[in-house]
Amino acid sequence: MKILYTIKEYAKLRGLTEIAIRKKVSSNYNEIIKIGKDTYILEDDAVVQKLKQNIKNKNAQVRELKLKLRVSEEQNNDKYLQELERQNAILEKKNKKLEKKIDKIQDKKDKLYEDILGTLVNQNRQLK
């Protein structure tokens, strides 16, 4: 991209005096444009290219950081899921233990009912 600089701006940009720039202009060292009494120097601007490249680099960094964040979130989700699975396994073990206890209690209850009914039947037989 080309930019127009006044002699004063160009001198400041290059760190030279205005007189040195005027000598370069008179020897056709740079492309110049005269508009009225003002002389402008036409210069390729690397700053714009650098800024465009800087924008591309920053966009790439943003994409990279977004990917890292997504990976981090997925890892956190994996940790969360692993913790839930661990807790689920613990609860399943407790559930099995309680089911076994319930089965044992149910068996004892059934045996007690049989014993009671058996005792009642024997007492009825003895009474007859």
pLDDT at 29: 65
11 touches 20 (CB < 8 A): yes
Measured CA to CA, the distance from residue 99 to residue 125 in angstroms comes to: 38
Going by C-beta distance under 8 Å and a sequence separation of 6 or more, which residues neighbour residue 3?
Answer: 42, 43, 44, 45, 48
In this prediction, residue 1 carries a pLDDT of: 67
So what's the pLDDT on residue 127? 77
Spatial distance between the Cα atoms of 30 and 41, rounded to a whole number of angstroms: 7
The CATH architecture annotation of domain 2-44 reads: Orthogonal Bundle (1.10)
Ranges of the chain with pLDDT below 50: none
Predicted local distance difference test score (pLDDT) of residue 101:
93
Nearest to 22 by CA among 43, 39, 42: 39
* Sign of the CA dihedral with 89 first, then 91, 96, and 97 last: positive
The rounded distance, in Å, linking the Cα atoms of 48 and 71 is: 34
Q: Which pairing describes strands 2-6 and 38-44: parallel, antiparallel, or unpaired? A: antiparallel
Q: What is the structure's pLDDT at 8? A: 87
CB distance 41 to 10 below 8 Å? yes
